[in-house]
């Protein structure tokens, strides 16, 4: 599969997944560091856990279909098995709700013209 076939690439939303990954790795690193410290770091541990959860919320809310407005990442998170959702999201070729492709849209626009 080429990058131009991927729905995330075509809709220019890969940067949203990158922010999610940076957040997850960053907060995961802070969490790992906090857990290696003494019990006084409970506040930081809670903060890092909340940050990691916020990264998931960001991904679920921000990745949307420009055609139908569906929250595509949220749909994938809910329906795909836990060990497959990320692969399924990055390999999407169409929106799971409206199954629109940019090529279809251009074709329809050409027909209307």
Q: Which chain residues interact with Zn ion by CB under 5 A?
A: 65, 67-68, 70, 95, 97-98
If the CB atoms of residues 82 and 103 are measured against Zn ion, the closer one turns out to be 103
Residue that is written with structure tokens 């990058």 in the block? 3
Nearer to Zn ion, 86 or 97 (CB): 97
Minimum distance, C-beta of residue 70 to Zn ion, in the bound complex (Å): 5
Give one DSSP letter per residue of the chain, joined into a string.
Answer: --GGG-HHHHTT-HHHHHHHHHHHHHHHHHHHHHHHS-GGGHHHHHHHHHHHHHHHHHHHHH-B-TTT--BHHHHHHHHS-TTTHHHHHHT--S-TTT---HHHHHHHHHHH-
Least distance to Zn ion, CB of residue 2, Å: 21
Structure tokens at 5: 């076939």
Cβ closest to Zn ion, residue 21 vs residue 106: 106
Residue 54 or 98: the one with the smaller Cβ distance to Zn ion is 98
> Cβ of residue 14: shortest distance to Zn ion, in angstroms?
17
Minimum distance from residue 100 beta carbon to Zn ion (Å): 5
């Amino acid at each position: 599969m080429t990058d131009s076939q991927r729905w995330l690439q075509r809709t220019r939303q890969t940067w949203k997944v990158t922010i999610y990954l940076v957040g997850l790795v960053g907060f995961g690193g802070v969490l790992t560091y906090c857990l290696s410290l003494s019990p006084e770091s409970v506040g930081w541990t809670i903060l890092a856990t909340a940050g990691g959860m916020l990264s998931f919320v960001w991904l679920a809310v921000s990745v949307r279909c420009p055609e139908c407005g569906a929250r595509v990442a949220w749909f994938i998170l809910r329906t795909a098995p836990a060990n497959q959702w990320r692969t399924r999201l990055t390999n999407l070729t169409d929106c799971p709700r409206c199954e629109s492709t940019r090529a279809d849209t251009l074709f329809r626009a050409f027909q209307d013209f």
